[in-house]
Amino acid sequence: MTTMLKTELTKNLLGLDKPPSETKVVVAMSGGVDSSVVAGLMKMNGYQVIGMTLQLYDYAQINKKPGTCCAGQDIYDAKRVSEKLDIDHYVLNYESKFKNEVIEKFADSYLRGETPIPCVNCNQTVKFRDLFESAKNLKADALITGHYVKKIIDNNISKMYRPKDLNRDQTYFLFATTQEQLNYLHFPLGDLPKEETRIIAKKLNLEVADKPDSQDICFVPDGKQNDFNENIFVKVRSTGKLIESKLDVNTGVVTFEKGEYGVSPGQACVFYKPDQAGIRVLGGGWIRATE
């Protein structure tokens, strides 16, 4: 069992120059097992802990979906964990900001023919930027998250490294973290394998100990991105060209996965099929590929 589960309460695990009892920390709580364990570790080691959850969307079809973050069921789970640990918990409504900063930029990126990674943009903007400001407003000494990342201070400079559990490495999603943010952030799970995180959750009797990990884009219901795309691509489809294309996956002539493929405005693309003329799609058009 990790020594972090309970250490001498006079030792500050965060490397700050005062005892935990005088150290106020904000824990970003998504309702998942990782952030819940982080909150538990901070509480057990004597810190003044405040849990903070951002409500980022409120889609009815997502509310009961396990393994997402920052929506109905997950907010409820974060609240239950906070009550179990006897810590203060705040829910901040950031739906409007999340829509403007993440969802709309995600849609715009697709419309340009790109493949966006909304988690990076979310961490850059809503999560770290706004959580950072909220934690500072509460006069917290540190912002704690459940990311699997190592932070090492070298010559008084905070640096980010890959975690012990490389299968859970989240450094890629945090590449845009600023130096100021990194100085303020702490990642207690950087030295733990995921299996041990779940063991700690069970030791703390947290109901989220066996909760599934988040896998899909959080605001896409049940991971059905094509259904989500039906809504955000209306503008393009009203003027573009949509072709139903049957792809023979055995020939290898077209090596695209099943899905939809966009052509950026001002460009053209030709899809070839065996013994047939190529299908030419002008900029703004879409090919829907099926097996």
User: pTM for the complete prediction?
Assistant: 0.71
Alpha-carbon distance 198 to 73, whole Å? Answer: 19
Q: What is the pLDDT of residues 106-125, one digit of tens each?
A: 877 766 767 777 877 777 77
Question: 54 near 70, Cβ under 8 Å?
Answer: yes
User: Which letter does DSSP use for residue 221 in this model?
Assistant: G
Is pLDDT above 90 for 144?
yes
Instruction: With cut-offs at 50, 70 and 90, classify the pLDDT of residue 291.
Output: very low
The residue with greater pLDDT, 232 or 215, is 215
Rounded to 5°, the CA angle 36-38-40 comes to: 70
CA dist., res. 56 & res. 125, Å (int)? 12
The C-alpha atoms of residue 108 and residue 116 are separated, in whole angstroms, by 9
Lowest mean pLDDT among 91-95, 197-201, 281-285: 281-285
Q: For 177-231, write each residue's pLDDT tens digit.
A: 999 999 999 999 999 999 999 999 999 999 999 998 876 567 665 555 555 555 5
User: How far, in whole angstroms, is CA 235 from its chain's centroid?
Assistant: 28
Asked whether the predicted pLDDT for residue 280 surpasses 60, the reply is: no
Task: Give the residue, 290 or 28, on which the prediction is more confident.
Answer: 28
Give pLDDT, residue 142: 97
Helices (H), ranges, the chain: 33-44, 72-85, 95-98, 104-111, 118-122, 131-137, 179-184, 194-203, 225-232, 234-239
What CATH number should be reported for the domain whose range is 19-223? 3.40.50.620
Q: Compute the average pLDDT of residues 77-96.
A: 93
- Please give the backbone phi and psi of residue 18, each rounded to the nearest 5 degrees, phi first: -150, 160
pLDDT surpasses 60 at 274: no
Torsion of CA 179, 181, 183, 189, to 10 degrees: -120
Return the structure tokens found at 146.
């459940």
Kindly report the backbone phi and psi dihedral angles of residue 248, in degrees, each rounded to the nearest multiple of 5, phi listed first.
-90, 100
Active site members = 122, 218
Residue 238's pLDDT is what? 37
Helix (H) or strand (E) holding 152: strand 150-154
DSSP bridge pairs for 283: none
Predicted pLDDT at 40? 97
Count of Cβ atoms closer than 10 Å to residue 33 Cβ: 25
**pLDDT value for 264:** 54
In angstroms, how far is CA 131 from the centroid of its own chain? Answer: 14
- State residue 5's pLDDT score: 60
Q: How far apart are CA 24 and CA 115, in angstroms?
A: 39
Res. 150: pLDDT tops 70: yes
Could you read off the pLDDT of 243-268 as tens digits, one per residue? 444 444 454 344 444 444 555 554 54
**How many whole angstroms separate alpha carbon 116 and alpha carbon 102?**
10
Q: What is the residue extent of each domain of the chain?
A: 19-223, 234-290
Q: Which of 108 and 167 is assigned the larger pLDDT?
A: 167
User: Is pLDDT at 73 greater than 90 in this prediction?
Assistant: no
pLDDT at residue 37, as a whole number: 97
pLDDT in tens, 53-68: 988 876 544 444 544 5
Residue 264 CA: distances (Å) to CA of 32, 108, 241, 242? 37, 11, 12, 14
- pLDDT digit string, tens, across residues 12-48: 788 888 999 999 999 999 999 999 999 999 999 999 9
Residue 189 token pair: 């799970």
